[in-house]
Amino acid sequence: MRRVFPLPVLDAVSASQMYGFARHAHSNGLPTVEICMIATPDGAITMDGRSGPLGSADDRAVLLALREAADIVLVGAGTARAEPYSAPSKAGQRIAVVTRTGDVDTTTQLFTSGAGLLVIPRSAPTPKVSHIRAGDTSVDFAEALAQLDVAFVHAEGGSQINTELLNAGVVDAINLSLAPFLSGGNGMRIASSHVPHYFDLVHVCNAGDHTFVRYERNKITSA
């Protein structure tokens, strides 16, 4: 016998309300930063190297609501290669691709459209596209965020980017979708930080067999 304990049901309207609200920059000028990820109950964030197979139409609605609210989408170079990014539909929005080496194909539509922005350390070669430098041999995320002059940065992974954002102490919320199956193997997790980070549960809802959870940074333990 299947036992179901009802949760609030997510739909396109509630996704927009719960995730698409306006964010504001902090009093120190740094933007609000939120991580958005999908994972399986056993912790995998990809299947065959991509997150897309884990998702659903409702997961996509959450992602789109977050992107619509964001000024900048932040993504690691590996994720940008695995999940090809193009120019966003939101006018003026930029996709910031983080790379330590600068090894990114800047001939793609994302960069030729002018929407792409590279985030690189000072040791990386000078690219021929729009970029910012932060950190000496690896990207300093607090320094990078201070240069963006926006209200809301929406981070879409991968694991290494999430880890570095968490360790920099700049993550304000985690928007997590749980896929209804197990992956197996030793795939990447949402983050690999060995430092505990404390968040408060804000909401839990579901759509079909996917579960959607939002956590916001615990201001006391994160101080």
Task: Provide DSSP, 140-192.
Answer: -HHHHHHHH--SEEEE---HHHHHHHHHTT---EEEEEE-SS---TT---S--
In terms of C-beta density within 10 A (0-12 exposed, 13-18 middle, 19 or more buried), how is residue 124 classed?
A: buried
Query: Once rounded to an integer, what is the mean pLDDT over residues 108-123?
Result: 97
80 is a domain residue: yes
Q: Looking at beta carbons, which pairs linking 216-220 to residues 24 or more positions away fall under 8 Å?
A: 216/172, 216/173, 217/171, 217/172, 217/173
Residue 26: alpha-carbon gap to chain centroid: 19
Contacts of 116 (CB under 8 A, 6+ apart): 85, 87, 94, 95, 97, 106, 108, 110, 129, 130
In a domain, 57, yes or no: yes
Cα gap 76→128, rounded to integer Å: 19
Which pLDDT value is given to residue 5?
60
pLDDT at 220: 66
- Distance between CA 108 and CA 151 in Å, rounded? 27
In the predicted model, what is the mean pLDDT of the chain? Answer: 90
Whether 139 is in a domain gets the answer: no
For residue 66, pLDDT over 80 is answered with: yes
Q: How many domains does the chain have?
A: 1
Domain for residue 122, yes or no?
A: no
**Which whole-number Å values give the CA distances from 172 to 30, 153, 158, 183, 186, in the listed order?**
11, 10, 17, 28, 28
Which tokens go with 97? 């691709």
Full residue range of the structural domain in which residue 56 is found: 12-18+30-95+151-182+191-211
Q: Render pLDDT for 129-141 as a digit per residue (tens, 0 to 9).
A: 999 999 999 999 9
Say yes or no to pLDDT of 69 above 90. Answer: yes
- Model pLDDT for residues 168-217, shown as the tens digit of each residue: 999 999 999 999 888 776 767 888 877 788 999 999 999 988 999 999 99
Cα–Cα distances (Å) from 208 to 6, 27, 35, 114, 178, in that order, read: 11, 39, 23, 38, 11
Residue 1 lies in a domain: no
Q: CA end-to-end span of the chain, whole Å?
A: 46
pTM above 0.85, yes or no: yes
Domain membership flag for residue 117: no
- CATH of residue 205: 3.40.430.10
* Range 3-8 contact pairs with CB under 8 angstroms and sequence separation of 24 or more: 7/204, 7/205, 7/206, 7/211, 8/203, 8/204, 8/205, 8/206
Would residue 43 count as lying in a domain? Answer: yes
pLDDT in the model for residue 56: 87
Residue 113 lies in a domain: no
CB half-sphere exposure, 168, CA atoms < 13 A: 22
Residue 52: DSSP 8-state: G
